[in-house]
Amino acid sequence: MSGSNPYQDDRGNKDRTITREGGAELGAHPGTGKVMATSEAFLVGDSMTGGYGKGPDILHDCTVAVNPGEIAVIVGPNGAGKSTAMKAVFGMLDLRQGSVRLDGEDITDLSPQARVVRGMGFVPQNSNIFTSLTVEENLEMGAFIRTDDFSGTMAQIYDLFPILKQKRNQAAGELSGGQRQQVAFGRALMTQPKVLMLDEPTAGVSPIVMDELFDRIIEVARTGIPILMVEQNARQALEIADKGYVLVQGANAYSGTGKELLADPEVRKSFLGG
């Protein structure tokens, strides 16, 4: 979104090999094509183990990471812990082991609010907009941490999602599912995040709307904002993914580039419907 972003589009597929059980070699630094350790990635949830409250561990040594210019997608069966992994990266559950790092800094102990201030944008799966507020008020709420003039950012968001401009004075609750997702997406962009996390951005929308949302996600990634997202529509999401993680029972089962995972016979058979 921001013209001053130093990271330019570099979404070409790099030569990387698929890994099973962990993805230590995943992650290529934009511009260099050099494969670097996941631990050096811009955003990394590294070897995360933990669960909700005093309950059992849901995540088991789970690692997800994303770099500028990339779209990283987490897929896997229902209940695999995909949303939990996102919540863990955003600081919504206490990790028993592992860490979260953003731009080289350990943020494991920061609250979600503090992570937003550091540059994380998170769009949760549910309740991600204020239905009784107008579209524009929702976007304004997104800018809550900003003290500068955010009208330029709002204009960029209206360029990205023209329908939101058209409906800016309408209550967000009156919008279609796909339009509401655009509001949630736009609201997260209002903070000018350094990284964006989306939990099932295409949940409940038609295939056409899903394609449109994916196009917008690609557009945002091209501005250099790394995007980490969970998707139910695994096949379609992996098609636009620079890298993908298949989670099973809270652990990394497969990881690789989107292309590699789509081509892997085991991944196809077990997770992509053949």
Ligand X SMILES: Nc1ncnc2c1ncn2[C@@H]1O[C@H](COP(=O)(O)OP(=O)(O)OP(=O)(O)O)[C@@H](O)[C@H]1O
What is the pattern of x (binds ligand X, CB under 6 A) and - over residues 19-58?
---------------------------------x--x--x
Choice between 214 and 271, CB closer to ligand X:
271
Choice between 27 and 81, CB closer to ligand X:
81
Does the protein bind ligand X through residue 65 (CB under 6 A)?
Answer: no
Report which DSSP code applies to 229: E
CA-wise closest residue to 26 among 271, 196, 267, 228:
228
Determine which residue in the list 38, 47, 63, 83 makes contact with ligand X, applying CB under 6 A.
83
Contact indicator for 122, 235 with CB cutoff of 8 Å: no
Choice between 108 and 232, CB closer to ligand X:
232
Contacts with 112 (C-beta within 8 Å, 6 or more apart), sequence order = 90, 91, 92, 122
Choice between 6 and 55, CB closer to ligand X:
55
Q: How far is CA 248 from CA 41, 71, 78, 90, 256, in A?
A: 22, 20, 9, 20, 15
CB of 242 to ligand X, least distance (A): 21
Does the protein bind ligand X through residue 80 (CB under 6 A)?
Answer: yes
Does the protein bind ligand X through residue 60 (CB under 6 A)?
Answer: no
CA-wise closest residue to 74 among 270, 210, 255:
255
Indicate if the alpha-carbon torsion angle 250, 91, 52, 56 is positive or negative.
Answer: positive
Does the protein bind ligand X through residue 204 (CB under 6 A)?
Answer: no
C-alpha to C-alpha distance for 218 and 69, rounded to whole angstroms = 9
CB of 74 to ligand X, least distance (A): 8
Does the protein bind ligand X through residue 89 (CB under 6 A)?
Answer: no
CB of 200 to ligand X, least distance (A): 7
Choice between 6 and 54, CB closer to ligand X:
54
**Segment lying near ligand X (by CB under 6 A), choices 63-71, 72-80, 114-122, 234-242:** 72-80
Choice between 76 and 201, CB closer to ligand X:
76
Does the protein bind ligand X through residue 79 (CB under 6 A)?
Answer: yes
Does the protein bind ligand X through residue 233 (CB under 6 A)?
Answer: no
What is the longest distance spanned by two Cα atoms in the chain? 51
CA-wise closest residue to 23 among 196, 272, 262, 246:
246
Does the protein bind ligand X through residue 144 (CB under 6 A)?
Answer: no
Q: What are the phi and psi torsion angles at 242 (to 5°)?
A: -75, -35
Does the protein bind ligand X through residue 82 (CB under 6 A)?
Answer: yes
**Segment lying near ligand X (by CB under 6 A), choices 74-82, 116-124, 141-149, 233-241:** 74-82
In order, the DSSP letters of 124-186 are: -SSS-S-TTSBHHHHHHHHTTT--S--HHHHHHHHHH-HHHHHTTTSBGGGS-HHHHHHHHHH
C-alpha to C-alpha distance for 102 and 180, rounded to whole angstroms = 28
Q: Which residues bind to ligand X, rule: CB under 6 A?
A: 52, 55, 58, 76, 78-84
